[in-house]
Copies of this chain bind each other. A is one copy, B any other.
Amino acid sequence: MSRAVVLLSGGLDSATALAVARERGHACHALSLDYGQRHVAELDAARAVATHLGAAEHRVVHIDMNQFGGSALTDRRIPVPETLGEGVPVTYVPARNTVMLALALGWAEVLEAECVYIGVNVVDYSGYPDCRPEFIRAFQGVADLATRAALEGRPTRIEAPLIELGKADIIRLGTRLGVDYALTVSCYQADAAGRACGRCDSCRFRRQGFQDAGIPDVTRYRADAARSG
């Protein structure tokens, strides 16, 4: 059974990417990065999703990128905005996907895994530079050279199975593959129990996705959450 390292954030997209990797027959080794997030709810969600989708194991790598600052997701002095502005969102974490893919590549090498899965998609890459298809292709160029496996002619494949999908498509796909989205947390400012605010960009995209997919929104919201808009 071939192995895959799957980057698992605890959100909707990466849970779906894990379900796809499992569907393709891989033994899935889930990897979460604790890069100094605002809340631990998403790591709890990642653990629950890994168990739910039968991952072979789940590891959390701690890395204190918050000392760099520069993002509303790691620097508590920058407020999380409730509306999407122009350009790159302030919730963008500097070079986050590069760092996550680099770590996944390292673990894949040790595990002799065939590929690394990452859940980036069309909605993400409207704002984040490191979610674009050309970024994934460039990172494949690094993976083709960086490792012992690459030297031996077996470079790790970077798989981004959701990259051309919108939120509704992702939710339809995951639902078909048995993903329980109630376990996932997408909200940028979820409470300690992982309940969503209903207001931030991430909540809005997610709710719209369920609506467009014609699938009931199983997201757990806070009592004071915005329910529409």
Which residue from B95, B105, B147 sits with its C-beta under 8 Å from A109?
A: B95
Contacts of A132 in B (CB 8 A): 145
A-side interface residues toward B, CB under 8 Å? Answer: 59, 61-65, 67-70, 87-88, 92-99, 101-103, 105-107, 109-110, 129-130, 132, 134-135, 138-139, 141-142, 144-148, 150-151
Verify A96–B106 contact, CB threshold 8 A.
yes
- How far in angstroms is the closest Cβ of chain B from A127? 10
Of A59, A65, A67, A145, most B-chain CB atoms within 10 Å? A145
Verify A95–B147 contact, CB threshold 8 A.
yes
Verify B145–A142 contact, CB threshold 8 A.
no
Cα A60 to Cα B147 in complex, Å, equals 24
Contacts of A145 in B (CB 8 A): 129-130, 132, 134-135, 138
Contacts of A95 in B (CB 8 A): 102-103, 105-106, 109, 146-147
Cα A87 to Cα B150 in complex, Å, equals 13
Contacts of A64 in B (CB 8 A): 61-62
Q: Say whether, besides A92-B148, A145-B138, A103 and B99 are in contact (CB < 8 Å).
A: yes
Contacts of A146 in B (CB 8 A): 95, 97-98, 129-130, 135, 138
Contacts of A107 in B (CB 8 A): 68, 94
Verify B151–A144 contact, CB threshold 8 A.
no
Q: Which 5 A-B pairs have the closest CB atoms?
A: A95-B106, A70-B110, A94-B106, A94-B109, A98-B102
Cα A69 to Cα B111 in complex, Å, equals 9
Contacts of A88 in B (CB 8 A): 148, 151
Contacts of A96 in B (CB 8 A): 106
Cα A130 to Cα B105 in complex, Å, equals 12
Contacts of A101 in B (CB 8 A): 102
Which residue from B63, B70, B151 sits with its C-beta under 8 Å from A63?
A: B63
Cα A28 to Cα B145 in complex, Å, equals 28
